[in-house]
Structure 1
Amino acid sequence: MEPAELRRAVEAARAIASELDLRTDDVIVVHNSDRVALRLAPCDVLARVAPAGRLAESEFEAEVARRLAGTDAPVAEVEPRAGTRVQVRDAFAVSLWTYYEPVGSGISPADYAGVLMRHHAALRRIDLAVPRFTDRIARALREVNDRERSPELPDSHRELLSGTLGELGAAVGVERAGDQLLHGEPHPGNVLGTKRGPLLVDLATCCRGPVEFDLAHAPEEVAEHYPGADHDLIHRCRALNWAMFSAWRWRRDDRMPDRERWRAEGLDRLRAALGRCGPG
């Protein structure tokens, strides 16, 4: 979010915390993108604030957390003093979560794989109506193919993204036998090292697909510790992930800070990932 919008998001979180008698003397920005994560102190609550147009997404995230409660899933929990209700204030959707103090300097590949295996096992114990991962690919493809939605995207980049999302997406999406509920985006920014061990955050991306789609978001070494993973499929999913990331950065209304840098970075990562895919 831009500075003016971020200030309004902070005030919306403060107001809701005050109504719940959660003392907030200070607000620390933990993450700033198209939505923000704010640490409220000293009550030690994490506020996730998104534009009100994404209310359904925020409510879905809280519902995933509620369904996973009691399954031993390694995920962040909704703040018990706030309940699972997402509140709207000044054009923002605000949900409150338990804040976990980060510990350690990183998560080993083996521990990373372990937290994904535990999460996948927990997800197999619940039932949720969620889109398949190919739906996300299709949305990204629509952004790329619509020049009004992505007016600044050069033709050469548009051709690369359209071909990857269309052709590779169709090839990867054919097989459904290994589908299950997934986190959807378990990249390193969504895996926290805490006193409770590694925990997954940002549950709004939950979808259905092969576990390799989740593994493609993790560092490459992680898959070596995940029994039965299809490494060729992981390479193809990683290329699709970078193609989707790049498609979002070229949207006319993308709000990610420093997006010019990320536009170039995303395309570079996509080309490198495609280079690791097999013929065809």
Structure 2
Amino acid sequence: MEPSELRRAVEAGRATASEAGLRVDDAVVVHNSDRVALRLVPCGVLARVAPLGHLADSEFEVEVARRPADVDAPVAELEPRVEPRAHVRDAFAISLWTYYGPAEPEIAPADYADALLRHHAALRRVELDAPHVTDRVAVALGEVNDREESPELPESDRELLSGTLGGLSAAISVEKGGDQLLHGEPHPGNLLNMRKGPLFVDLATCCRGPVEFDLAHAPEEVGKHCTGADHGLIHRCRALGWAMFSAWRWRRDDHMPDRDRWRAEGLHRVRAALDRCGPV
């Protein structure tokens, strides 16, 4: 978020927690992107603050967090002292979570794989109406194909992203028999390596699809510890994931910090991933 919007988001997060009866003397920005994560002290709460246009995503994330918690999934917990819902204040959607403190050093691939496998096992016990991976891809494809929504995207790169999103989405939707509920984006930034065990965060991307789609977001070594994974499908899903990431970065209203660098990096990652899985 830009500085002026960030100040308003911080105040909205603080005020929401205070109104819920929590003591808030200070708010520390933990992460600033299209959404902001705030550490509220001394109450020990993490506030996730998003523009009101993301209210549906915030409500969905809260609902997703409630379900896996019931089946002992390794996920971050909502703040138990506050009603589990998305709050609305000053054009922002705010959800309140347990703050877990600094994470341990980088997680070993085998431990990462174990956490993801346990998460998938728990999600198979959850009944939740979630979109399919291909539904999310369709939204990204719409952004790419709409020149008014992505006016700065060069035509050659538009063709690359359109072909990748359309071709690979069709390829992974041919057989849906093995699909299940997924995290959606379990990359290292969404896994806290805590002393009591790894915990997944940022659950708004929950969707249905092949487990290889989740594995494609993890470091490559993680997939080698998952017996039965289709490594060719992981490569295709990795290319698809980077194409989706790139589609979001080229949106006219994208507010990710350092967006220009990530636009270039995303396209580079798409090409590198496609080289590993052959032509779309």
Deviation at 1:279, TM superposition (A): 5.3
The answer to whether 1:103 aligns with 2:103 is yes
Provide the C-alpha distance between the structure 1 equivalents of 2:161 and 2:122, rounded to a whole number of angstroms: 34
RMSD of Structure 2 on Structure 1 (CA): 1.0
Q: What SS does structure 2 have at the residue aligned with 1:69?
A: helix
The answer to whether 1:74 aligns with 2:96 is no
Q: What SS does structure 2 have at the residue aligned with 1:151?
A: coil
Provide the C-alpha distance between the structure 2 equivalents of 1:274 and 1:56, rounded to a whole number of angstroms: 33
Q: What SS does structure 2 have at the residue aligned with 1:6?
A: helix
The answer on whether the counterparts of 2:104 and 2:195 sit within 8 Å (CA) in structure 1 is no
Question: Matches of residues 59-138 of structure 1 in structure 2 within 5 Å?
Answer: 59-138=59-138
The answer on whether the counterparts of 1:28 and 1:40 sit within 8 Å (CA) in structure 2 is yes
Q: Which amino acid aligns with 2:44?
A: D
Provide the C-alpha distance between the structure 1 equivalents of 2:61 and 2:5, rounded to a whole number of angstroms: 22
TM-score between the two structures when normalised by the length of structure 2 = 0.98
The answer to whether 1:24 aligns with 2:30 is no
Provide the C-alpha distance between the structure 2 equivalents of 1:99 and 1:193, rounded to a whole number of angstroms: 13
Structure 2 equivalent of residue 256 of structure 1: 256
The answer on whether the counterparts of 2:45 and 2:99 sit within 8 Å (CA) in structure 1 is yes
Structure 2 equivalent of residue 273 of structure 1: 273
The answer to whether 1:11 aligns with 2:11 is yes
Q: What SS does structure 1 have at the residue aligned with 2:27?
A: strand
Structure 2 equivalent of residue 207 of structure 1: 207
Structure 2 equivalent of residue 173 of structure 1: 173
Structure 2 equivalent of residue 139 of structure 1: 139
Structure 1 equivalent of residue 196 of structure 2: 196
Q: Deviations over 1:168-204 (max 9, x none)?
A: 2211221101100000000111000112211000111
Q: Which amino acid aligns with 1:188?
A: P
Q: What SS does structure 2 have at the residue aligned with 1:121?
A: helix
Structure 1 equivalent of residue 34 of structure 2: 34
Provide the C-alpha distance between the structure 2 equivalents of 1:166 and 1:32, rounded to a whole number of angstroms: 31
Deviation at 1:92, TM superposition (A): 0.3
The answer on whether the counterparts of 1:52 and 1:88 sit within 8 Å (CA) in structure 2 is yes
Unmatched segments (≥5 aa) in structure 2 = none
Q: Which moves more between the two structures, 262-271 or 96-105?
A: 96-105
Provide the C-alpha distance between the structure 1 equivalents of 2:53 and 2:149, rounded to a whole number of angstroms: 18
Provide the C-alpha distance between the structure 2 equivalents of 1:173 and 1:248, rounded to a whole number of angstroms: 22
Q: What SS does structure 2 have at the residue aligned with 1:204?
A: coil
Deviation at 1:230, TM superposition (A): 0.5
Deviation at 1:97, TM superposition (A): 0.2
Q: What SS does structure 2 have at the residue aligned with 1:21?
A: coil
Q: What SS does structure 2 have at the residue aligned with 1:252?
A: coil
Deviation at 1:277, TM superposition (A): 0.3
Identical columns (%): 75
Q: Deviations over 1:190-244 (max 9, x none)?
A: 0001122110001111100000000000000000011111000000000000001
Unmatched segments (≥5 aa) in structure 1 = none
Aligned residues: 280
Provide the C-alpha distance between the structure 2 equivalents of 1:140 and 1:167, rounded to a whole number of angstroms: 13
Q: What SS does structure 1 have at the residue aligned with 2:25?
A: strand
Q: Which amino acid aligns with 1:20?
A: A
Structure 2 equivalent of residue 246 of structure 1: 246
